[in-house]
């Protein structure tokens, strides 16, 4: 079975990583092919693995060039199923090409359901999809609240063998930090919706009561986030935190840095099924996260992490301090986190469901708009 995976970017961020995980774990009987708008770390990895990929750079008037190019790919590669990995116009054009050629379309939705783009594309999502997959309940309930027989929820999965608890000093060594200090970490793209400024603002409140700690920021930023990143750097300078906050930049492998950290903070203003959270849980880390989007489906407040309100640096500081001042609480929370990852987010179970999904799809499926429960 040949599957064309479509994702608008090839960066090492949530959606492309999820797409890469699926493509490289399909197993026998499946042949993945990838299409995107740009070269990037994901296409570099695909090249090393010998997986065919296409970059489509010319949109054309109203996306007609994209549609024409997708039609050529589908025909030349004899594609059996289209996997659209994000709710974006780029994936819409692939979906149109698929429907014109009567190819089943599986559309994964990972985006904030409340933004205007998601609302605009909701029509196309219903019109073009043979199957719609949400990665969290919150998105499904807000974007398509009506019951439809061809909607499923499949959470992202995490590799429990790669992301497991083990000792690592890689960040202590890299930044020459004293071994007696505690490391608080942020992992993710440096962009406004991640709310990093609220963690920065919380850090002086944390340092007032627990001085022997540093903040490590793991992740890079895109060109359109340069102004935001500059604002973060100005805020750090304004709060005199230059010697307490360290940046690693974008990392391709975060399992060792993650195991150097004591506490993970995700101060997002909006989140779906966060890979950072799943990897942190699998690594048995104490997590502080904001109560937004799909996060409460991953973090059970007070059991495998602590949930706080978004845009609230005091709540972030108080939650971090609870973990810093109570080793037993931190350890128990970490153990519960690993147990939840094993029970609900094991990528082997995730892939089993996705393979079953592909195998269940018939070419004669009609669009989802005509299939109501």
Cβ atoms of 139 and 294 within 8 Å: the answer is: yes
User: What is the CATH code of the structural domain delimited by 170-344?
Assistant: 3.40.50.2000
On average, the pLDDT of the chain sits at 95
Q: For 263-314, what is each residue's pLDDT tens digit?
A: 999 999 999 999 999 999 999 999 999 999 999 999 999 999 999 999 999 9
User: What is the CATH code of the structural domain delimited by 2-157+347-370?
Assistant: 3.40.50.2000
Q: CA-CA distance, 217 to 204, in Å (whole number)? A: 16
The DSSP element (H or E) to which 282 belongs, if any, is helix 275-282
Q: For 153-182, what is each residue's pLDDT tens digit?
A: 999 999 999 999 999 999 999 999 999 999
Q: CA-CA distance, 325 to 187, in Å (whole number)? A: 22
The alpha-carbon radius of gyration of the chain (Å, integer) is 21
The pLDDT of residue 368 is 45
Q: CA-CA distance, 226 to 220, in Å (whole number)? A: 10
pLDDT-derived band at 373 (thresholds 50, 70, 90) equals very low
Q: For 212-236, what is each residue's pLDDT tens digit?
A: 999 999 999 999 999 999 999 999 9
This model's pTM is above 0.85 = yes
- String of DSSP letters for 34-48: EEESS--HHHHHHHH
In the chain, CATH 3.40.50.2000 sits at 2-157+347-370, 170-344
Nearest CA to 277 out of 176, 185, 149 is that of 185
Q: For 298-355, what is each residue's pLDDT tens digit?
A: 999 999 999 999 999 999 999 999 999 999 999 999 999 999 999 999 999 999 999 9
The dihedral built from the CA positions of residue 263, 316, 213 and 174, taken in this order, carries a sign that is positive
């Amino acid at each position: 079975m040949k599957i064309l995976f479509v994702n608008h970017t090839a960066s090492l961020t949530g959606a492309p990583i999820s797409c890469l995980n699926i493509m490289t774990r399909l197993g026998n009987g499946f042949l993945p092919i990838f299409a995107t708008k740009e070269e990037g770390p994901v296409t570099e990895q695909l090249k090393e693995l010998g997986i065919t990929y296409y970059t489509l750079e010319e949109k054309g008037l109203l996306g007609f060039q994209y549609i024409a190019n997708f039609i050529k790919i589908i025909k030349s590669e004899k594609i059996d199923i289209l996997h659209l990995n994000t709710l974006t116009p780029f994936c819409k054009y692939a979906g149109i090409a698929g429907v014109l050629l009567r190819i089943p379309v599986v559309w994964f939705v990972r985006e904030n359901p409340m933004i205007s783009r998601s609302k605009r594309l909701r029509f196309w999502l219903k019109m073009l999809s043979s199957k719609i997959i949400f990665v969290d309940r919150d998105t499904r309930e807000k974007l398509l609240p009506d019951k439809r027989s061809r909607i499923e929820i499949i959470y992202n999965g995490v590799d429990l063998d790669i992301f497991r608890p083990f000792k690592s000093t890689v960040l202590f060594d890299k930044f020459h930090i004293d071994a007696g200090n505690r490391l608080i970490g942020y992992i993710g793209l440096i962009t406004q919706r991640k709310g990093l400024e609220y963690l920065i603002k919380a850090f002086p409140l944390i340092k007032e009561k627990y001085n022997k700690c540093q903040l490590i920021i793991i992740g890079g930023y895109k060109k359109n986030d340069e102004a935001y990143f500059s604002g973060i750097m100005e805020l750090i300078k304004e709060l005199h935190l230059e010697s307490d906050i360290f940046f690693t930049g974008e990392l391709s492998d975060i399992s060792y840095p993650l195991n150097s950290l004591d506490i993970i903070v995700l101060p997002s203003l909006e989140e779906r099924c966060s890979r950072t959270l799943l990897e942190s849980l699998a690594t048995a880390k104490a997590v502080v996260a904001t109560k937004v989007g799909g996060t409460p489906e991953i973090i059970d407040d007070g059991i495998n992490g602590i949930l706080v309100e978004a845009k609230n640096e005091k709540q972030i500081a108080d939650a971090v301090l609870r973990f810093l001042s109570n080793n037993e609480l931190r350890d128990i929370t970490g153990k519960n986190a690993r147990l939840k990852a094993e029970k609900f987010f094991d990528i082997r179970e995730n892939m089993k469901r996705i393979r079953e999904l592909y195998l269940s799809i018939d070419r004669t499926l009609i669009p989802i708009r005509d299939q109501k429960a």
